[in-house]
Structure 1
């Protein structure tokens, strides 16, 4: 596959889980890929080696998404290492769950800093480098559109904010030929939410297709949105959730 031949991509939070699958899929499609990570240096290096084994350039950048300077710096380092930027995938995110009575101010601030502010800051920084055919793709959540369980309010709020951001930014950047879209995963088998976890059966019970998704399921949609085939798709959201929101 070479739909992304010659393209240069940055995937935030790309050292593991869905982010790692996206980084590898973009490389398989022909893109050179930079990825950011916070603590998983060894895993990030592993993904870079896998990207390089595909004949593409891979770059790992240490950047805490809660740190505005690090987010901006991550974009600039990716641009410098790759010689430009065509695709930004805002994947980094955190989960802080529990009832509203138990939230701390730190929980609220951390969730908004990583799940919302970092997306806005990275997109703003990347937009200065994107040209005609540029792509901004954010990873949201099926909970952004329908909250199907208790204790997910804070996370759902943060991901719902990305829907409005995506729609507005699509309007702002559309005249430059840049598309902006969001992908909403459902329960996906990662170390953060394993298919064999304690809450897995309860999550499967809510789905039309009662099984967990795979990170590659999300990566496939991202690769499509990053490609020329999706040139007329913008401001849109795509649920990959096994029908939990059906």
Structure 2
């Protein structure tokens, strides 16, 4: 076996997110048709040990298997600081410890996959809406210059308006803009991997916005989740 695979997600204290990350790794393993030992998963943050140590441990467990390269996929949805700085730094540290065997190949982040448009189109279709509904793609957002451009482009492909949790324009201002212009049927798709504390906070905000804009219909979708569809998209990325 020439390749093994390692999935990197953000990390969370929420057990739902932790369980979802492991279930997604299981689904990817099944889709690849590999032994579980050849597919690893670890968080970038909020772990007992840093990512580079998790990578080194995974590589050491592969000794004698014939694996020559570990392909590392960041399960991130926009090119922020974690993708462009933090993960490459951790991979570089792991390389220093491992040398050239096995090789560590860092792939581009998951959200860059062109198939993400199709997946999000399906997610929007699962959210109640009519032919006149306005769509909002709600991303975490990033303060890194240029990072949110990828989200704006993706939203445009989905015939949606971008909104961000951490930076403007926020969800509340985008909804207010629509309602002010008489567009009161709005579908909101959270562009997040897993259910957790942040998606709970989003649901709470939407509940408050429903009270504030009582004449509007705000339909909130679900995060992408550990689904066979997402696992298939990841598998296609790993095979590029």
> Normalised by the shorter chain, which TM-score bucket?
0.3 to 0.5
Q: TM-score, normalised by structure 2?
A: 0.41
Structure 1 length normalisation: TM-score?
0.41
Higher-RCO chain (CA-CA 8 Å, sequence separation at least 6)? 2
Larger radius of gyration: 2
